[in-house]
Structure 1
Amino acid sequence: MTITATTHLNFRGDARAALEFYQSVFGGHLTVIAYGDFGMPKELPDADKVVFGQVTADSGFRIAAYDAPSHSPEAAAPTATTRENGLTLTGERFFVAVNGETADEVGALWDKLADGAEIVEKFGPSPFSPGFGMLTDRFGVTWVLQVTAAQAG
């Protein structure tokens, strides 16, 4: 049996822009279906919002997203904390982790995701990887990018 997990992101109206951005970073096929495509009357406020969206790349990268309906409760804003060792972390309950085989490969993804992002930890060598970094992108999603340790050694 094979099991795969796909990160599913929830947005407040910018899922389409986020998915288009992620496709520009990771490549692959973009699927976007709006609430109106499923029969919601086009004149309603959420009709053009994304009810299902996904980017799927040949590399194995896959991410899904949608826009929460406008009547849904707002999520709490993320916060940043600094630990005693000086490492800054976000208050998010999860991160999207992307692993690659080489620092060049992962660094190229980092450069694209960093456009408009808040850098949590700059991409570079770390004690456990020849390439590691953390950022919160322009859509508020926190990403961890690293060279896979098994591949590094």
Structure 2
Amino acid sequence: MRASLNFYKDAVARQLDMMMRFGESPEPPPPGAVPPDFDNKIMHASFRIGSSLIMASDGCGGESTLSGFALSIIPANKEDATRMFNALAEGGSVTMPLGETFFSPCFGMLKDRFGMEWMIAMQPAEQTA
């Protein structure tokens, strides 16, 4: 998760508020709650995209898959949209190139290198006024 947090911080967030590994917890977890090899895994992390707080964790279970949903981000302007889209697309795959649509002056879809699907969608000018 550390690699993905650094990637998202650079691509969209610009601010990592906190990060704590399981091995840094001030209290030990209940017996059997966390696998023994999780000391360096992320217990709690938070970062900001604009004014939104996003929280993340490696969890305590097995592997998880990301499917059936996408995260949407509404950039303030076309420059931010382009920067975020290009950064998230690096090492991933573009589903729909960034461009103008009937509902957005700048919209695109992609799957990043970690398998997370994203939609970048500027609001039309009449909705931002």
TM range (shorter): 0.7 to 0.9
Using a 3 Å threshold, how does the CA distance of structure 1 residues 110 and 147 change in structure 2: closer, same or farther? Answer: same
TM-score, normalised to structure 1, is 0.68
Note if 1:67 corresponds to 2:55: no
- C-alpha separation in 2, matches of 1:106 and 1:126: 14
Note if 1:128 corresponds to 2:103: yes
Deviation at 1:73, TM superposition (A): 4.2
- C-alpha separation in 1, matches of 2:63 and 2:41: 16
TM-score, normalised to structure 2, is 0.79
- Can you give the 5+ residue segments of structure 2 that lack an aligned partner in the other structure? 30-35
Note if 1:18 corresponds to 2:1: no
- Report 1:1-153 matches (<5 A): 15-25=1-11, 26-38=13-25, 39=28, 44-56=36-48, 59-69=50-60, 72-75=61-64, 77=65, 92-149=67-124, 150-151=127-128
Structure with more of its chain in strand, by fraction: 1
- C-alpha separation in 1, matches of 2:40 and 2:120: 32
Identical positions, percent = 24
Asked if the contact 1:16–1:32 (Cα under 8 Å) also holds between the matched residues in 2, the reply is no
Superposition RMSD in Å: 2.0
- C-alpha separation in 1, matches of 2:78 and 2:54: 22
Asked if the contact 1:97–1:145 (Cα under 8 Å) also holds between the matched residues in 2, the reply is yes
Runs (4+) of structure 1 exceeding 4 A deviation are none
- Count of aligned positions: 118
- C-alpha separation in 1, matches of 2:63 and 2:45: 20
